[in-house]
A and B are shown apart, each in its own frame.
Chain A
Amino acid sequence: MRQARTYSGILSGGISGRTGPHLLPLARIKKIMKKSGDDVKMISGEAPIVFSKACELFIEELTQRSWMVTMRGKRRTLNKEDVTSAVIATDIFDFLLNLVSDTGNSVEAAPLEMDISKSS
Chain B
Amino acid sequence: MQHGNSSNSNRNNNIINDTNNGNTTNCDTVPQPCMVREQDQYMPIANVIRIMRRILPAHAKISDDAKETIQECVSEYISFITGEANERCQREQRKTITAEDVLWAMGKLGFDDYVEPLTVFLSRYRENENERTSLRGEPILKRGIDYGQMMMAPYGPAFHMGHHQGMFDAAATAMGGYFRDASGAAGSSSPASLTKNFDPFGQFK
Contact flag A45-B145 (CB < 8 Å), given A15-B46, A50-B121, A51-B102: yes
Query: Chain B residues with Cβ under 8 A from A39's Cβ?
Result: 86, 90
Interface string of B50-86 (1 = CB under 8 A from A): 1110111001111101100110111111111111011
List residues of A (94-111) whose CB comes within 8 Å of B's CBs. Answer: 95-96, 99-100
Interface string of A20-56 (1 = CB under 8 A from B): 1111110011011101110111111111011101111
Determine whether A72 belongs to the interface, using a CB cutoff of 8 Å to chain B: no
Query: Chain B residues with Cβ under 8 A from A24's Cβ?
Result: 43-44, 47
- Contact between B122 and A55, CB atoms less than 8 A apart: no
Partner of A96, one of B51, B76, B102: B76
Query: Chain A residues with Cβ under 8 A from B51's Cβ?
Result: 56, 59-60, 63
CB distance from A52 to the nearest CB of B (A): 8
Query: Chain B residues with Cβ under 8 A from A13's Cβ?
Result: 203
- Contact between B97 and A76, CB atoms less than 8 A apart: no
- Contact between B66 and A44, CB atoms less than 8 A apart: no
For this complex, 6 residue pairs linking A to B, each with C-beta atoms less than 8 Å apart, are A44-B96, A58-B74, A59-B48, A76-B59, A77-B60, A79-B1
In the bound complex, CA of A67 to CA of B66 (Å): 11
Closest B residue to A120 using CB positions = B110
- Contact between A41 and B65, CB atoms less than 8 A apart: no
Determine whether B95 belongs to the interface, using a CB cutoff of 8 Å to chain A: yes
- Chain A interface, number of residues (Cβ within 8 angstroms): 68
Question: Which B residues form the contact surface with A (CB < 8 A)?
Answer: 1, 40-44, 46-48, 50-52, 54-56, 59-63, 65-66, 69-70, 72-83, 85-86, 90, 95-99, 101-103, 106, 109-111, 113-114, 117-118, 121-122, 125-126, 133, 143-147, 149-150, 199-204
Question: Which A residues form the contact surface with B (CB < 8 A)?
Answer: 1-3, 9-10, 12-15, 18, 20-25, 28-29, 31-33, 35-37, 39-47, 49-51, 53-60, 62-64, 66-67, 70, 76-84, 87, 91-92, 95-96, 99-100, 118, 120
Query: Chain A residues with Cβ under 8 A from B201's Cβ?
Result: 23
Closest B residue to A87 using CB positions = B73
- Contact between B118 and A99, CB atoms less than 8 A apart: no
In the bound complex, CA of A83 to CA of B83 (Å): 24
Closest A residue to B98 using CB positions = A44
Contact flag A36-B90 (CB < 8 Å), given A82-B66, A99-B72: no
Closest B residue to A25 using CB positions = B44
Query: Chain A residues with Cβ under 8 A from B126's Cβ?
Result: 46
In the bound complex, CA of A69 to CA of B76 (Å): 22
Query: Chain B residues with Cβ under 8 A from A36's Cβ?
Result: 78-80, 82-83, 86
